[in-house]
Amino acid sequence: MAEEAEDNKPAEGAEAAPAEPAPAPEAPPALEPIVKKKKIDGDHAGAHGGAWKIALADMMTAMMAFFLLMWLLGSTNEDQRKSIADYFKPTSHSNVTMSERPGPGGLMGGLSVMDSDGMPYAGKTTSVFERETPRSEAGTQSGDGKTKDETKDKNPDELSAEERQRIAAEADQKNFDKLEKEVRESLSLNKELEKIKDQVKFIREKDGLRIEVIDKADFSMFGLGTNKMQARAMTLIREVAKSLAAMPNKVAVRGHTDSLAYDDGVNSNWSLSGMRAETTRRLLQEAGLPDSRFQRIEGVADTVPYVPNNPADPRNRRISITILYQDVGGKA
């Protein structure tokens, strides 16, 4: 055993064998790069672009051109519109002389259509008389054979008294038709007034349009022997005032009674009919009709019966509101 141990010992003078190095640690595996994907919704992103601004600008330009066209149509007459159309009409350079072309030395002498001197007449908003003037079938014939109203292009200050009177009468007829339609519709839509709508009559006469509010056996505008107006009658008068407010015509109010004698020592049928007319006037004024619109307020007792062959008939008790024709000469 000792010999074996000695054999295992390294020989003297011999160098000890170097120790083997420890194996290096394995390198960690390489990591794959992280890729982030961002998905953008194409339809949503379009709203944040600038394309809508171009579309909006195109639309606004088209609207401006449209309203400019409407203004030109409303503020020019037929001859002016023809001049404008000729100015923008495309022409061939081969068959048009310099004097016929628009622009400098041409149709409008180099002026723009927007210049005040660019057209035969300065553009202006059509006045009330011009709007209400109808085309006369018996008007003068223009050079192209078309019928032309003589008063169409006239300034209102240049119209004769007859022309002004005719235009005002035509405007009144149109306004009377509108008034009658509005009042009838109001009576039909109002449940409180529907039962008395047959008591409201519209009569055309030489002075204008007369609205008669007529009593009957089961309904009276005023209390017996008084000028105190009933609630339904007040509602009716207010509806009439709404339609009258927008009209320029003067108004006359007249009170009527039946032939039954009334005299309490202070008032009679004459004074009673006058007081009822005044009560109606006050209510019209409170509903929006200015005091300057009233031409006359009168009571005529039983002298103008609605039913002439029966002076005592309840229908003879009534209020007449007459919308007078306009008198352009200054008198209403």
Q: What is the pLDDT of residue 164?
A: 76
pLDDT of 2 higher than 70: no
Q: What is the pLDDT of residue 131?
A: 40
**HSE toward the beta carbon, residue 92, CA cutoff 13 A:** 2
Higher pLDDT, 111 or 289: 289
* Contact (Cβ atoms closer than 8 angstroms) between residue 212 and residue 323: no
Lowest mean pLDDT among 64-68, 191-195, 196-200: 191-195
Burial 195-219 (b: 16+ CB within 10 A, else e): ebeebbeeeeeeebbbbbbbbeeee
Where are the chain's structural domains? 165-324
Q: What is the pLDDT of residue 128?
A: 40
Using pLDDT thresholds of 50, 70 and 90, give the confidence band for residue 310. very high
Q: What is the pLDDT of residue 120?
A: 45
Average pLDDT, integer, range 7-21: 55
pLDDT of 197 higher than 80: yes
Most confidently modeled range among 104-113, 202-211, 319-328 = 202-211
Q: What is the pLDDT of residue 332?
A: 38
Is the Cα torsion angle 132, 138, 140, 144 positive or negative in sign? positive
Q: What is the pLDDT of residue 196?
A: 83
Strands (E), 156-264: 200-205, 208-214, 251-256
Using pLDDT thresholds of 50, 70 and 90, give the confidence band for residue 60. very high
Q: What is the pLDDT of residue 224?
A: 85
**Strand ranges of the sheet holding 318-324, from the earlier edge strand across to the other edge:** 200-205, 208-214, 318-324, 251-256, 294-299
pLDDT of 137 higher than 70: no
* Contact (Cβ atoms closer than 8 angstroms) between residue 159 and residue 212: no
* Contact (Cβ atoms closer than 8 angstroms) between residue 256 and residue 300: yes
Q: What percentage of the chain reaches a pLDDT higher than 90?
A: 29
Residues whose CB falls within 8 Å of the CB of residue 28, separated by 6 or more in sequence, listed in order: none
pLDDT of 260 higher than 70: yes
Q: What is the pLDDT of residue 216?
A: 84
pLDDT of 33 higher than 90: no
Residue 57 and residue 155: Cα distance in Å, rounded?
40
pLDDT digits (tens, 9 = 90+) for 138-184: 444 444 444 445 555 555 556 777 777 788 888 888 989 998 998 88
Average pLDDT, integer, range 112-140: 44
Rounded mean pLDDT of the chain?
Answer: 75
Please, what CATH class does the domain formed by 165-324 belong to?
Answer: alpha beta
